[in-house]
């Protein structure tokens, strides 16, 4: 979800669900240590519970960034061992780390030594032509021995050469049974599945076997799905706002961000394009809110007017 689940996206998603855990886009340890940590780590308190996802492989750097993440107030630190992009591979992290479980274990231990919050790992079920379940079982077992108790399993192989990140999300077949077997083999661990989940019914089925489900692109493209989560999975009251009310709640945030010289309005609104999915006029709404030239004025009333044009949003 690189360049997708930034802090503006997460603030918007928090308007739709109070309890669902939100994850940052992958932030590299180098960008935090050698760049501007405020820019990389700042977030709005409304985002809690929120996890910082790190990309890196050096235990000392992971430890330093985990420590900073805890100081910034994150609720969890997650190590990305699932991203297959060649850019990430050049940094020797992401999915290629699955070939080095000992190094990942060292990173987990180094992070646990300096923080009190949960350290979790997101990973694939294999790399390239390694199809054996034993591979991911041994990977999880090695990391668990270092003290990690939560694993987020993207239930596809990562093809490190020859496929783009997009193709890596579509071509390698999903093997949810591997995640189910991990839970059977490691009942003491929290096993969360990721990959290809689009409906509440699919979530329900996975929860019959596992501890949790991570939703990625479906939550981004169809964010209204999130409004069912608090009642269905967290025993809270039903979501009672309309789409128009959610848009209205975002207006002060957008105005404040633009007024401080922060992001342009379209950098925030782009995360909201899917909120009207399924309604008459949704296409026109997306078109209006994708017009960077029109949004350059920074006036959030443009968003409000576009939303008002959809009677079903009220």
Q: Residues 193-223: pLDDT tens digits? A: 999 999 999 999 999 999 999 999 999 999 9
Sequence-separated (6 or more) residues with CB below 8 Å from residue 25: 1, 2, 3, 4, 5, 6, 53
Structure tokens at 280: 């008459």
195 versus 170: the higher-pLDDT residue is: 195
| Whether 143 and 200 share a structural domain | yes
| Whether 30 and 150 share a structural domain | yes
Catalytically active residues are 83
What 3-state DSSP class applies to 65?
A: helix
pLDDT above 80 (res 135): yes
Look up the domain containing 147 and give its range.
7-232
Banded pLDDT at 93 (limits 50, 70, 90): confident
| CA-based nearest residue to 95, from 61, 64, 55, 129 | 55
Task: State residue 87's pLDDT score.
Answer: 64
The pTM of this model reads 0.95
- Average pLDDT on 296-309 reads 95
Task: State residue 262's pLDDT score.
Answer: 82
Question: Do 243 and 224 touch, CB atoms closer than 8 A?
Answer: yes
Banded pLDDT at 91 (limits 50, 70, 90): low
| CA-based nearest residue to 98, from 58, 157, 51, 52 | 157
- Average pLDDT on 145-154 reads 98
- Which of 232, 267, 296 lies at the terminal end of a domain, its last residue? 232
Q: Could you tell me the CATH number of the domain that includes residue 126? A: 3.20.20.70
Question: Do 56 and 84 touch, CB atoms closer than 8 A?
Answer: no
Q: Residues 97-124: pLDDT tens digits? A: 999 999 999 999 999 999 999 999 999 9
Task: Give the Cα separation of 14 and 16 in Å (integer).
Answer: 5
């Amino acid at each position: 979800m690189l360049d997708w689940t930034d802090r503006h996206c997460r603030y918007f998603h928090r308007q739709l669900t109070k309890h669902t855990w939100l994850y940052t886009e992958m932030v590299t340890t180098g960008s935090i240590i050698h760049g501007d940590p405020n820019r990389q780590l700042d977030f709005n308190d409304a985002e809690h519970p929120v996890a910082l996802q790190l990309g890196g492989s050096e235990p000392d750097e992971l430890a330093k960034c985990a420590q900073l993440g805890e100081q910034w107030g994150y609720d969890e630190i997650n190590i990305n061992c699932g991203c297959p992009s060649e850019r990430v591979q050049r940094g020797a992290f992401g999915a290629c780390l699955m070939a080095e479980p000992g190094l990942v274990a060292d990173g987990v231990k180094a992070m646990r030594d300096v923080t009190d919050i949960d350290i979790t790992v997101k990973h694939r079920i294999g790399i390239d032509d390694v199809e054996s379940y034993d591979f991911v079982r041994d990977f999880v077992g090695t990391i668990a021995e270092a003290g990690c108790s939560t694993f987020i399993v993207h239930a596809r192989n990562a093809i490190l050469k020859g496929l783009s990140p997009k193709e890596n999300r579509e071509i390698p077949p999903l093997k949810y049974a591997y995640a189910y077997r991990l839970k059977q083999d490691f009942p003491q661990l929290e096993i969360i599945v990721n990959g290809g989940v689009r409906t509440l019914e699919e979530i329900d089925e996975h929860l019959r076997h596992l501890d949790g489900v991570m939703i990625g692109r479906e939550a981004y493209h169809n964010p209204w799905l999130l409004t069912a989560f608090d009642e269905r999975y967290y025993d809270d009251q039903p979501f009672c706002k309309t789409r128009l009310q959610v848009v209205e709640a975002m207006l002060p945030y957008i105005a404040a961000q633009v007024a401080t010289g922060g992001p342009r309005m379209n950098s925030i609104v782009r995360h909201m394009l899917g909120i009207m999915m399924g309604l008459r006029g949704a296409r026109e709404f997306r078109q209006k809110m994708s017009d960077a030239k029109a949004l350059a004025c920074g006036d959030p009333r443009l968003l409000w007017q576009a939303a008002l044009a959809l009677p079903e949003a009220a």
